[in-house]
Structure 1
Amino acid sequence: MTSPLVSVIIPARDESGNLPSLLDEIADALAAIDHEVLVVDDASRDGTWALLEARAAEDPRLRPLRHAESAGQSTSVWQAGHEARGEWLATLDGDGQNDPADLPSLIERARQGDVTLVAGHRTTRHDDWLKRISSRIANGVRARLLRDQTPDTGCGLKVMRREAFLRLPYFNHMHRFLPALVQAQGGRCVSLPVNHRPRGTGRSHYGLNNRLWAGLLDMAGVMWLRRRSRLPAALERLSPENTTARDERTERTT
């Protein structure tokens, strides 16, 4: 089984109305890029799983996964990252607000070789006032405290090296702090402007309590993780010349 270049990861809960068009858009946007798509059904109560089963029967690039009980967005992304086979992971939300047409430009920037993660920046938001203001406050506080130089870390559109993602510490809500966590491991992050669209069908599962207040609490934990991190640390390896000399000495004494 060959490994694709990109594994697209979509956490989804009750998104049966948005996924068909979203999957079609991903296929069109990545027609020239070898990819797979992993959709994690996080205990949906609508027809999400039946939809994914039917689509996967026709499209071998689609790999559906699901939780019997809701585990949240971070767990969905983290588990899919471990199941993925691609060199790069591309994430986007299942509600259709992220535009798959932005994926090629993010992937192209990531493959230039000088960054670990490319994050989308929603310069124009199409959300209700509560979501916008809570996100603005959280982004402002996070930028001031974490100094991760990422204007919109909450944007679901991101492209990152899979090997770097697998080294990150796991905790609930970690998906909101990926740039800061990557930087704590010695990686480099950049942001690119991306399109943002109104939600298609359904409703958001985030509100003030689980977006703003929980985010502020999680931020304290990320600050602690970054403060306690000692990476990157210079690591020297035995040179090939020294290895050869050591082997020759071993042969002469045996």
Structure 2
Amino acid sequence: MSQAMPQISVVVPVHDEEGAAGDLAREIAGALQGRAFEMIFVDDASRDGTRAELAAARAALPQLRVLAHGANAGQSRAVRTGVLAARGEIILTLDGDGQNPPGDGPALIDLLLASPPEVALVGGRRAKRQDSQAKLWASRWANRIRKRLLGDDADDTGCGLKAFRREAYLRLPYFDHMHRYLPALMIREGYRNLYLDVSHRPRGVGRSKYTNWSRLKASVSDLLGVIWLKSRARRPGQVVEL
């Protein structure tokens, strides 16, 4: 199956996830067994043994590809690196910390494949988040404010588990932290989004790369930027070739 052109490319950004990355790759392979898929783990300049762990895992996982950043560039750039390298028409993303169970991925993929072309994204919605009360509170208010200002339809845009069409993603403007605004950006391009409840589990090893304060500092400028992008969007209507 690794020799055939994959239909699905699973893109996983990782940074300092030694002890979790290899297990996550094996779990993804089990969840997508029987499908034409590849896994692209993008190591965002880890300082631990993440890269070596993934390299060792390739011996038993022919679908696994490992890309490595020379400098830390953030989650959105890692996702973009993976999507640019992907060969599948459908992209499935998961957070590298293992909190998104890969077993939920096929349901998102199948819904996207069964949907008309104007549906470009199926987002996960964490039904029972296994995070601290402080993180849950901050996320709840951030989602409310973002939805109010951008008019998007996502209740949980921070969920890393998403399935989307590669072609649609490549039409979106790139900026750092754009992964949090994919639903709004898809709508800006004239696409539709769908959502499914997914599971969530506690982090097994390592620690979060984000804090509520760091998210707040980035989100203010990002939100203003996406509002500006929406205000400058002009749609051409139906495009026909004469």
Give the TM-score normalised by structure 1.
Answer: 0.90
Quote how far apart the aligned CAs of 1:201 are.
0.3
2:181 corresponds in structure 1 to 177
2:151 alignment partner AA: R
Identity %: 51
Aligned length: 238
2:165 corresponds in structure 1 to 161
Helix, strand or coil at the partner of 2:210: coil
2:25 corresponds in structure 1 to 23
User: Contact 1:138/1:216 (CA < 8 Å) preserved in 2?
Assistant: no
Q: For 2:97 and 2:56, how far apart are their aligned partners in 1?
A: 19
Quote how far apart the aligned CAs of 1:79 are.
1.2
2:106 corresponds in structure 1 to 104
Which ranges of structure 1 fall in alignment gaps of 5 or more residues?
Answer: 239-254
2:113 alignment partner AA: R
Q: CA RMSD in A?
A: 1.2
| Per-residue CA distance 1:4-32 (angstroms, 9 max, x = gap) | 01000000011111112211211111002
1:76 corresponds in structure 2 to 78
2:202 corresponds in structure 1 to 198
Q: For 2:68 and 2:193, how far apart are their aligned partners in 1?
A: 30
| Per-residue CA distance 1:137-193 (angstroms, 9 max, x = gap) | 111100111111110011000000000111110000000000110111111101100
* Aligned with 2:129 (options 121, 125, 130): 125
Q: For 1:116 and 1:171, how far apart are their aligned partners in 2?
A: 19
Quote how far apart the aligned CAs of 1:232 are.
5.1
Which ranges of structure 2 fall in alignment gaps of 5 or more residues?
Answer: none
**1:212-231 alignment to 2 at 5 Å?**
212-231=216-235
Helix, strand or coil at the partner of 1:107: helix
Quote how far apart the aligned CAs of 1:220 are.
1.0
Q: For 2:77 and 2:214, how far apart are their aligned partners in 1?
A: 15
| Per-residue CA distance 1:28-53 (angstroms, 9 max, x = gap) | 11002110000011111111010111
Give the TM-score normalised by structure 2.
Answer: 0.95
Which stretches of structure 1, 4 residues or longer, exceed 4 Å deviation after superposition?
Answer: none
Structure 1 residue 147 and structure 2 residue 147: aligned? no
